[in-house]
Amino acid sequence: MTRVFVRSVLALVLVLAAGLVVWRVLAPAEVLAPATDPYPAAVRRAPGVVGELAGAPLIVDGRFRVYGLTRQIKADAPVDGKAQYPPRWSFRRWPQRLAGVVAAGSTVVSRWSDGQIVAVDGRTGRIAWRVDGPPAGGFTDGATAVWAPPGLAVSGATVLVAADRRVRALNSATGAVRWAGDCPGSGFATAGGRVVCGDVVYDAADGAVVPGWPAGPLTPLGCDVAASGCRGVRDTAGEGWQTTGPDPRRARGLDQPGSTAVLDLALIPTADGVVARSALTGHEMWRGPAGTVLGSTRTAVYVLTPANDLMGLEPATGEARLRIPLGVDGRAERWQVTDGYVAVSFPDSVMLAAI
């Protein structure tokens, strides 16, 4: 009888212990590992390939890199590191899935499947603010999460969150709602400080409806990551418009299907090379090498050739300022162009080049 009692007690203890382990593993939890080192300095490098990474990095503030995983965001440094390094800081949520990440200055804003929007101070790795929102889609892949996050965009110090046919504009420093409005689709932000949502255009700062825009829905052209900083649009009639200022300007160079807006140019990829035209007049300016137009900085236009050579072209003449062989096979999938670096994802790797 005593043995039976002892065995029963031991079995109960084992069941309780197993239950505790399962609860600790599966219970909702957050793990924040803040930074323990000083904020990294901005690094400038001579042009060339500086690293091959396992995941797509969101380059933030020219100082550190952020990666999106299924249930975690993490940052490493230096920005020119040749591989992914142990995290400088990280933030994990279980069992929620990451929907996307954007950055406003040094603030990293993440959106999660339960609708929570959590901002991390990129300098310290500590939570800056969090707000609730509608449920979001789950994780797709790392490059989509950091370079094309669904329903997220940035305009200056405003973070835009679109869901359920509505858009909310949040103050990137505090998370406070600046304004909200109707938004069929995911919307996008222009370089001129406007938010385009179907047939409605808002001022990104205060949410005022802006009249005088062409009929939508409008196709964004020449955007940075996260459907932000778009330099042009094409309307339902196929006419192009430049959106680098607060009001759209008719841009005949953007009429041609396949053209994109870069600086004040319309770039049109063809089998024989990239044709650069004045965005406003459509007048041909120059012709460059064949390839994929990645974007621009203030001083150069960047094209990736079929051989995966990164070309930096003079905006006024198309003259090649630099050529960087990336040394990989395969077709580019997504990319980010910043003032100091270009990151490009391929099927098997992500290449980082200083420009």
CA atoms within 13 A on the CB side of 79: 23
The domain over range 28-137 is classified in CATH as 2.40.10.480: yes
- Please write the tens of the pLDDT for every residue from 154-166: 999 999 999 999 9
Rounded distance, CA 353 to CA 345, Å? 12
Report strand pairing: 107-112 vs 117-121.
antiparallel
pTM above 0.85, yes or no: yes
| Confidence bin at 17 (pLDDT 50/70/90) | very low
23, 106, 164 from 316: Cα distances, Å: 63, 32, 43
Query: Cβ distance 222 to 233 under 8 Å?
Result: no
The domain over range 263-355 is classified in CATH as 3.90.550.10: no
- Please write the tens of the pLDDT for every residue from 184-219: 878 999 999 999 998 899 999 999 999 999 998 999
The average pLDDT across 169-198 equals: 96
For residue 24, the model assigns a pLDDT of 39
Look at residues 321, 291, 322, 294 and name the one whose alpha carbon lies nearest to residue 308: 291
The domain over range 151-250 is classified in CATH as 2.40.10.480: yes
Does the structure show a pLDDT above 50 at 30?
yes
Take residue 347 and report the two structure tokens written for it: 């099927």
Take residue 234 and report the two structure tokens written for it: 């094409």
Does the structure show a pLDDT above 60 at 120?
yes
Domain boundaries for CATH 2.40.128.630 within the chain: 263-355
- Please write the tens of the pLDDT for every residue from 267-278: 999 999 999 999
Rounded distance, CA 15 to CA 17, Å? 5
The secondary structure element, H or E, covering residue 192 is none
Query: Cβ distance 144 to 186 under 8 Å?
Result: no
Domain boundaries for CATH 2.40.10.480 within the chain: 28-137, 151-250
For residue 26, the model assigns a pLDDT of 42
The average pLDDT across 113-125 equals: 98
